[in-house]
Amino acid sequence: MPTINVTDQIAFRADKLNKVSLFEVPQFFVDVYCLEPGQEQKPHAHADAAKVYYVLEGEGVFLVDGEERKLGAGNAVLSEAGDPHGVRNDSTERLTLLVMMAPNPNH
């Protein structure tokens, strides 16, 4: 049974947002994104894939389809297929996100 302790996977990089892969199947991937203060995922879009961000810890500024919203732990954000989306850490604390995208563009 593929299981993973997500907390144990959290790891940051000084130079950029760190994406840690948890699971990859053809139907989706699940990652943890780890953002130091000031780091970001620039807005981008996937024509056929949808994404969910779930805030594990910290506070992120999410940009989806031209809207911007600051959300803390316990909140989830949906980016539908084709929507430009991104996230940045404007805070002074670390930000960790559980991220799921389907279908998996790497397959």
- Min dist CB 37 to a second copy, Å, is 22
* Beta pairing class for 59-64 and 85-88: antiparallel
Residue 23 contacts a second copy per CB under 8 A: yes
CA-atom Rg of the chain in angstroms:
13
Q: Which member of 16, 21, 78, 107 binds a second copy (CB under 8 A)?
A: 78
**Of 58, 54, 60, whose CA–CA distance to 97 is shortest?**
54
CB of 15 to a second copy, least distance (A): 27
Residue 106 in the binding site for a second copy (CB under 8 A)? no
The residues that bridge with 80 in the sheet, in sequence order, are: none
The contacts of residue 25 (CB under 8 Å, 6+ apart) are 104, 107
- Residues found near a second copy in the complex (CB under 8 A): 1-7, 22-23, 25-28, 30, 49-50, 52, 54, 62, 64-65, 67, 69, 71, 74-78, 80-81, 98, 100, 102-103
